[in-house]
Structure 1
Amino acid sequence: MLDERSDRLVASMKLNRHINRTKPLYQDGEAVDLLIADETPLGFNAIVENAHWGLLYHSDLNAALQPGQRMQGYVKTVRPDGKIDLRLDDTGYQRISPLTQKILDKLKESGGHLDLDDSSPPEAIRYAFGVSKKSFKQAIGALLREGRIRFEHGGVQLVDVD
């Protein structure tokens, strides 16, 4: 921020005085930009859209987050007291279709084999695709039902569909 008296750039760890206190007008499921602030016993506090406090619960996370990390998240709910509950993954089946395409693209890039499957650690899946293990399992399940992949040697193999 700029110091009002000296017009110089300054930094502060006292974030609360800069957070918007008005009731947030976000909708459930809305995509928002997050800045991870700090860890609490419940999860990670995040600054939502550079304006409001939100919370990512430990139970909703598959990997550790770092203060200062920026990412996209989704509004889980805005509680009556104005606090925002967040999640990292979109909900519903609309998150699966783009993910299935990402998996197919990654399979084609790697010669048809991917060393991830439904028994892979959540951290490896989050690192490779930026999604939860649940989302990944749903996407590879959809690809398996379509006959586009098969499980093979601790991963998935692209099936030649000609």
Structure 2
Amino acid sequence: MRFSMKLSHILLATSLLASSQWSVAAALISAKEAALPPAAGALATRGISRGPGIKLASPEADTPVASPFDFKVNFEPRGDAKIDPSSVKVVYMKSPFVDLTPRLKSAISANGIDFAKADVPPGTHTIRVTVKDSEGRETNSVLNLVVNK
């Protein structure tokens, strides 16, 4: 009895340790969503803006990457303004648009988006990120993710 109880405690501790060290991939874009037709129209963004900066930190833009990967976007406030994390919107540019914001909610902060182990099907995926600062200035940025087969 005592041996089996100790063994079960060891197995439980081992499984907890393993789950804390390795995070499981989380779906950012499903295969069904990737199969939707591309959004119609131009995906242009405005030119020079005083709004916050949006920079894709990982993976490198237009560089093929294997899935799962860490999806990281940095927000850069301008002047004394602060980033409003509740204003962040992330949209997969398909027809119809796919709002990815709820999937990323826990990964969004005033510093940016830090979503570990994003599971994305192979292909080129266009994502629009929108963010506002405390002065109401908005910036949109279109990001391309290229995922290997």
Q: Same fold (TM over 0.5)?
A: no
Structure that is richer in strand per residue? 2
- Which of structures 1 and 2 has the larger relative contact order (alpha carbons within 8 angstroms, sep 6+)? 2
How does the TM-score come out when normalised to structure 2? 0.24
Structure that is richer in helix per residue? 1
How does the TM-score come out when normalised to structure 1? 0.23
